[in-house]
Structure 1
Amino acid sequence: MAEPRGPSSSSVASSTATVHILRAPGSTKSLLVGELEKGAAEANVEDVDEYPDGGLRAWLVVLGVSSGICTTFGFINAWGIFQAYYEQYTLRNMSPSDMWVPLSNAASLDYALVFMPGLAFGRLFDMGYLRLPVGIASALLVACTFLTGECTEFWHFLLCQGFGVGLASGVVFSAAAGVVAHWFKKNLGLALACMASGSSIGGTIFPIILRNLIETQSFQWTLRITGFIVAAFLLVLNMTIARRLPANPHPGPFIHLGMFKSITYMVYCLSLFLSFLGLYTCLTYLSLSGLLAGVDADLSFYLLSIANACSLVGRLGGGVLADRFGAMNVMIPGTFVAGVMTYAWPFAKTKGPLVAVAVLYGISSGIFIAIMVQPLVRMGKVTEVGMRTGMAFTILSFGALAGPPISGAIFDRTGKFENVGYYAGSAVMSSVVLMIIARQLLLGKLFGHA
């Protein structure tokens, strides 16, 4: 049974198409490939190396997943606004020592759960499941956004904004990372960059929306209005997301430890883990550090939007450069600059330096986030991309889970962001070293496309 080689006229005509039509040779009977593509699972794929690499249907998928990333990763990137608000208003009765570590734990839970479901959902994606889990996750995300507005105690926020939003975002992100690789190969870097741009857009608009709504509306109505905005973006995601390739007929176990026989894969996964131990520290505490340094409150709140807006430049530029020069060749210097900015951030005490850090950190971290998936996609068969990226995401999620609490504990003990910067910057720089090693193992030479 042959796989479809590109978008059919019927799928192009309708952006809401949920199935592809496959026909067996010599048969007029069609098989509908939907949530569990049983017919396609038994099919012999003729040539998975033939990708559309463009066209209306492929770019509609990118539009959809970008909308999903906007309301998941982008929304989570607005955590700094929530943290500053909780400390000033909702949880102001808590002492700093009682507040710092719990809030850091909530932030880390959000970041970690974006990646942690990758282990389970990556394998489900390979098996053919896509629309149903994405639909359930979308409903959960909208519900938790509304419920956050009704929270009054820390454990309420942890349950709704930590577990609920984080888990739903993880399912959407895992689906997005896998499905784009079905439609693009030559232009995969650009497609992933466009997908990741949704995070920059969300991380830019949500802090602005939240900041302005909080000033004019109650916290409850702020989250209700935000919930409707989230629902609109997720509607686009659910209307356009679609698989191209048939399900893997022999998906195997959820965890395939044999993949770690590849030293390159193992080293690269470890580099991702270390990067997330420190990468989001600056983004999480940038607004708060500005407030504590005495910078105007309005500017401090908007530092997060500035960083995320500049991240869009890094993501799109990094994706284009990755297709031309190789993902790791672009990601290594970009991550290095992010590490330098993480070291420098605590020493920015006035308006100019803080804006400069936000701009440079946004661009450099955007390069890393946009194309970190690309090396994983190309380390094996595309039919196993869900498992391969899912295992890597789960590993790096432990870095995202531990990073902010460690940063919060360091600040709680020392009272200085400088010490937090030393820790987070060193973690990012260690990641860069391992990326260089992984690149050398992959190429076996100093120069080349990697």
Structure 2
Amino acid sequence: MSYNNTASCFNGKKGQIKNGPGEQPSSNILADTGPQLEALMTVIPADEFPDGGLEAWSVVLGAWCSNFVSFGWVACMGVFQAYYQTHKLHHRSPSSIAWILSTESFALFACAPVFGHIFDNYGARALLVGGAAFHVFGLMMVSLSKEYYQILLAQGVCSAVGASAVYWACSNAVGTGWLRRRGLAMGIASSGSSVGGIVGTAAIPALFDKIGFAWTMRAAAFVYLFLLSISITTVKSRLAHKSVKFQALDLVRPLKEKPVLLVAVGCFFFFLGVLLPDNFIPIEAMDAGMSSSRANSLLVIFCAATTIGRIVPGWAGDRFGIFNVTIAFTYLSTLLVFVLWIPAKSDPSRMAFAGLYGFSSALVSAIPTLAAQVCSNIDKLGAYMGAIYIVLSPAILMGQPIVGALLGASGSGNYLYLKIFAGLMMFIGGGVFIFARFAFDGGEKGIWI
């Protein structure tokens, strides 16, 4: 394996370190890269990444299906919040119902370290089969559930853990199979969550009215089983996985690398803010006087815009650098909150915000690509992603009590404090991403990182 190819794998661009096959790296490079140099020598050469072909694109197809049934399902949370409040759990407070959905979102992120470790040791197949079983079984159990705790366990825990397993299996498989077009491949795969959100948001309420809650959940489970069978058939890891003894410190060891730690902290602040508009766009609009049907259409506009927004950052990141694109889209989302959402007074302005913010906030799908960028050993990509999401995932659970406090402080029907908080958290996250970029760059990799 040539040093030039090894360096190409780490930097994502061939030829940035100019040593030939028989030359030794210069001492200044040794000094600048520090502990990363040893990892450089163990990662896979750039010419061994498929970066295309039938098998690599088949993995992307399977990952698209996994995104449809995982984050596409979570994108329908607003539908279930409204249904549970008015029907199945009408005797419960909205905040207690929200805990079901918050737990579901948290499980998707918080399981990343465990499933990343399993992927690094055993590959994707076990996660896909086990995750599919848990996800489908959980949905079937929701159809039979009558009590709050039953729905919490079935939808918030069982189904969510299964969805997390299939998502991380596929995300890691795509990340380890692409290099120069990794952002595009992962962006296309993640667009499945947007399509899943559009279909679910439109179809599930209609099915509730036509065939009832129980059969709607069963129908969703059967559709997801079909899509998951595609994922199981097409997704495979190209790495030679080796089982190693599990140690708890392995879950956080990647955080010892400064760029990884800064990316994780940036993601924590970013996720504290970025998801709030997603959840409150239609509710805020209805409280401002928009009809319920038009307010629900805001979710469809939002999800449709995220379909494009999940692909464009990855495509742009391959050309201009995923750090640069992450920072730009973070501040674009911040700007839209302060300039468009806070002063929005009319239906058209809220629709414009839903579309534009859906596009910019879809950056959340590029976080795995960013994790792959700072991963100094692609064989351990699952561990690196898991470490970042250990830091990130508490932000998902913290959002619920913070929102309650902000809405209580600003008064009924007033969302100003919530909007300011969302914009401020994303602004701070963008600042940390800038520090992470320079910690990763070290002045050696140029401007396109």
Q: Which of the five TM-score ranges fits, normalised by the shorter chain?
A: 0.7 to 0.9
Contact 1:248–1:383 at 8 Å: present in 2 too? no
Q: Report the residue type matching 2:120 in the other structure.
A: D
Aligned to 1:296: 291
- Is the deviation greater in 314-323 or in 211-220? 211-220
> 2:417 — aligned with what?
419
Distance 1:405 1:108, change over 3 A: farther
SS of 1:189's partner is helix
Choose the corresponding residue for 1:387, options 378, 383, 396: 383
Instruction: Kindly state the Cα deviation for residue 46 of structure 1 after the two structures are TM-superposed.
Output: 9.8
Query: For residues 101 and 198 of structure 1, do their structure 2 counterparts lie closer, same or farther at Cα, with a shift above 3 Å needed?
Result: same
CA contact (8 A) 1:84 1:287 kept: no
User: Which of these residues, 256, 261, 264, is aligned with residue 269 of structure 1?
Assistant: 264
Letter in 2 for 1:332: I
Report which stretch shifted further, 401-410 or 260-269: 401-410
The 8 Å contact of residues 118 and 394 in structure 1, kept in 2 or not, is answered as yes
Q: 1:405 to 1:46 in 2, by over 3 A?
A: closer
Say yes or no: does 1:306 pair with 2:298. no
Quote the Cα distance in structure 2 between the aligned partners of 1:417 and 1:107: 21
**What's the CA shift for 1:107?**
2.5
- Partner in structure 2 of residue 32 of structure 1: none
1:180 CA drift (Å): 0.7
Q: Which residue of 1 aligns with 2:23?
A: none
Shift of 1:386: 0.9
The equivalent of 1:125 in structure 2 is 119
Q: CA deviation at 1:339?
A: 2.4
The structure with the largest helix share of the pair is 2
Question: Match of 1:448?
Answer: 447
Q: Give the deviation of 1:443 after TM superposition.
A: 2.0
2:75, 2:197 within 8 Å by CA — same for their partners in 1? yes
Give the stretch that moved more between structures: 356-365 or 341-350.
341-350
Q: Does 1:194 align with 2:188?
A: yes
Q: 1:365 to 1:47 in 2, by over 3 A?
A: closer
* Distance of 1:159 and 1:342 partners within structure 2: 35
Task: Please give the alpha-carbon distance, in whole angstroms, between the structure 1 residues aligned to 2:227 and 2:356.
Answer: 28
CA-CA distance at 1:247 after TM superposition: 0.7
TM-score, normalised via structure 2 length: 0.84
Aligned-residue offset at 1:296:
1.9
Please give the alpha-carbon distance, in whole angstroms, between the structure 1 residues aligned to 2:97 and 2:334. 24
Pair 1:177 & 2:158 matched: no
Which of residues 365, 376, 395 in structure 2 aligns to 1:370? 365
Corresponding residue for 2:402? Answer: 406
Deviation per CA, 1:92-139: give whole Å up to 9, x if none.
334xxxx23323322221221111111111111111242122212112
Structure 1 CA distance, aligned partners of 2:408 and 2:65?
Answer: 37
Determine whether 1:285 maps to 2:280.
Answer: yes
The TM-score with structure 1 as length reference comes to 0.84
Determine whether 1:241 maps to 2:235.
yes
Residues of 1 paired with 2:256 and 2:84: CA distance?
46
1:102 aligns with 2:96: yes
C-alpha distance in 2 between matches for 1:405 and 1:236: 39
Gapped runs of 5+ residues in structure 2?
1-41
- Secondary structure class of the residue paired with 1:53: coil
Secondary structure of the structure 1 residue equivalent to 2:249: coil
% of aligned pairs identical? Answer: 26
Q: Deviations over 1:241-266 (max 9, x none)?
A: 10101014657635334433322211
Alignment match, 1:52:
50
Question: Deviations along 1:255-300, whole A, 9 cap, x unmatched?
Answer: 3344333222111110111111122111122222233333222222
- Residue 124 of structure 2 contacts residue 169 of structure 2 at CA under 8 Å; is this kept in 1? yes
Tell me the alpha carbon deviations over residues 2-61 of structure 1, each in whole angstroms, 9 at most, x when there is no partner.
xxxxxxxxxxxxxxxxxxxxxxxxxxxxxxxxxxxxxxxxxxx99553111000011000
Q: Is 1:351 the counterpart of 2:347 in the alignment?
A: yes
RMSD across aligned positions (CA): 2.2
**Which stretch shows the higher mean deviation, 124-133 or 46-55?**
46-55
Aligned residues: 402
Q: d(CA) in 1 for partners of 2:136 and 2:344?
A: 37
C-alpha distance 144-249 of structure 1, shift in aligned 2 (>3 A): closer
Q: Once superposed, which parts of structure 1, at least 4 consecutive aligned residues long, lie more than 4 Å away?
A: 45-48, 249-252
2:144 is equivalent to residue 150 of structure 1: yes
Secondary structure in structure 1 of the residue aligned to 2:144:
coil
The C-alpha deviation readout for 1:181-223, integer Å capped at 9, x for no partner, is 2211111011110111111111111101112212323122222
In the alignment, the residues of structure 1 paired with residue 397 and residue 57 of structure 2 have an alpha-carbon distance, to the nearest angstrom, of 33
